[in-house]
Amino acid sequence: ASDVYKRQIKGGAALEQLSQIQHVAFDKTGTLTVGKPQVTGVYPLELTEDALLTLAAAVEQGSTHPLAPPRGRAAPPRGSPLPAPRALRAGLGSGIEAEVDGKKVLITAADKFPSQALGQQISDLEQAGQTVIIVAVDGIAKGILALRDTLRDDAKEAVAALHELGIQGVILTGDNPRAAAAIANELGL
């Protein structure tokens, strides 16, 4: 990563200004983390785990929305065929939605779809550094998926090197504050 930054800095004045930096802001996803969240927990309501995963995988097909687990990571364990989604729509800050087998399925951040039945479980998962998404069918929560992105191999080393230089770091993210805090604590940010 340091070779990339060296190529982008031109001229002695720019290098001299770098010596005055006291704080660095890092984007979390893809910079400090790998950017490929893994499903770490499946918590269905009124459905089986496989049914919940099938709905989520059907909606995320072809989506590049940040809430969509990368293709195949939300696939049902038995590899059952996925229904084809129709009218796929990704809304800024509102998740992704599609019609699956005649039902409107929404995948969205937990804070965008408050659920009293899942509130404590969501809070516990987020406190543990998980990103929690709700899977809703026709406006009713049917379960949650917990996701976690792994730290990049060089993230701790890079942050430690900056600390040795007296430079403090902060994380910028659209993730929930508790999950962001867990990553920040792990890195000393």
Catalytic residues: 27
Distances 36 to 3, 47, 148, 160 between C-alpha atoms, Å: 24, 26, 8, 23
Residue type at 176 in one-letter notation: N
E-assigned strand segments in 93-174 = 95-100, 103-109, 131-137, 140-148, 168-172
Tokens of 184: 């920040």
- Integer Cα distance of 155 and 107 in angstroms: 30
Provide φ and ψ at 24, rounded to 5°: -130, 130
